[in-house]
Structure 1
Amino acid sequence: MDLWVVILVGVLALVAGVALGFFIARQYMMSYLKKNPPINEQMLRAMMMQMGQKPSQKKINQMLKAMNNQMK
């Protein structure tokens, strides 16, 4: 009977640790991406120039807004 209790406590601790680790890592990555977005206005402008387009500020703002909406 004592062996079952030990196994049950071990499995519960393992599941709780995995769940807690997942949520902590998820929260850390969300805050990291908010502080350091993967693409900004200068990067987008350079990318469009490399593709041969002359980006207007309006088009850059539209693309940034679309990217931000997609991340939410």
Structure 2
Amino acid sequence: MLVLSENVIKIGRGNLYAGTVGHSAETLTKTMQAVVVMQILGLPLPPLAPFEKSLFAECYGWGNRVDRAFFVQV
């Protein structure tokens, strides 16, 4: 569980002070490591529908500013 928490924190901090263009290899690596740990622990993966609404390419990887309700309404 500690590895999972560490990976999630690294995902959030990975590009904290810099925008990205195209993709972030570090973010993808840590995301996939978190997925593997979740599968090993038998934890359900989060639904992808909210993430499909906001493109990674928007605002250099930060996404456009939207209200929280934007992600709740699938």
Normalising TM by the smaller chain, what interval? under 0.3
TM-score by length of 2: 0.26
Select the structure that is richer in helix: 1
TM-score by length of 1: 0.27
The structure having more radius of gyration, on CA atoms, is 1
Flag the structure with more relative contact order, 1 or 2, with Cα contacts below 8 A and sequence separation at least 6.
2
